């Protein structure tokens, strides 16, 4: 319970900061950075959030399910533009994966030489 409370407090802190400053940035990502900072500074012990964080991350994929189901609302638009959207999604995802992966692996090899 302590872990869940800590995580929600940090999410809230992130969301409150975004609301107050008006910066166009997602609150939970700011919450992530704040939690990282708090752990690094020793304000929060890793043990206190570890099991809750593990549970949430193990089930990360589940939390996306209702959003994927939401694509059904756009079925007509998607059907009308299926080729452009389909190829755009497939090619950009493949290129994004391969560019990131190859650059990272190449730099890793250069460094360890």
Residues 77-106 within binding reach of other proteins (CB under 8 A): 77-78, 81, 83-85, 87-105
Among 1, 20, 22, 60, binds other proteins (CB under 8 A): 60
> Does residue 57 touch other proteins according to CB under 8 A?
yes
Phi, psi (deg, nearest 5) at residue 83: -70, -50
Helix, strand and coil percent figures for the chain, each rounded to 5: 85, 0, 15
Shortest gap between Cβ of 14 and other proteins (angstroms)? Answer: 7
**Chain centroid offset of residue 47 CA:** 22
Asked whether position 53 contacts other proteins by CB under 8 A, the answer is yes
By the rule CB under 8 A, 5 interacts with other proteins: no
* Site residues (CB under 8 A) for other proteins, limited to 25-44: 25-29, 31-36, 39-40
Sign of torsion over alpha carbons 35, 36, 40, 46: positive
User: Of 71, 76, 79, 113, which lies in the binding site for other proteins, with binding defined by CB under 8 A?
Assistant: 71
The sign of the dihedral angle between the CA atoms of 68, 6, 42, 22 is positive
The H helix count followed by the E strand count for the chain is: 6, 0
Please tell me the count of residues contacting other proteins according to CB under 8 A: 73
19 lies in the site for other proteins, by CB under 8 A = no
């Amino acid at each position: 319970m302590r872990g869940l409370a800590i995580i929600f407090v940090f999410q809230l802190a992130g969301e409150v900061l975004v609301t107050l400053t008006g910066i166009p940035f997602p609150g939970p990502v700011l919450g992530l950075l704040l939690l990282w900072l708090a752990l690094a500074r020793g304000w929060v012990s890793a043990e206190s959030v570890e099991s809750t964080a593990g549970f949430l991350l193990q089930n990360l994929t589940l939390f996306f399910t209702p959003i994927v189901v939401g694509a059904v609302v756009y079925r007509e638009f998607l059907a009308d533009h299926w080729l452009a959207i389909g190829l755009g999604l497939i090619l950009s995802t493949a290129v994004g994966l391969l560019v990131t992966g190859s650059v990272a692996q190449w730099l890793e090899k250069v460094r360890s030489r």
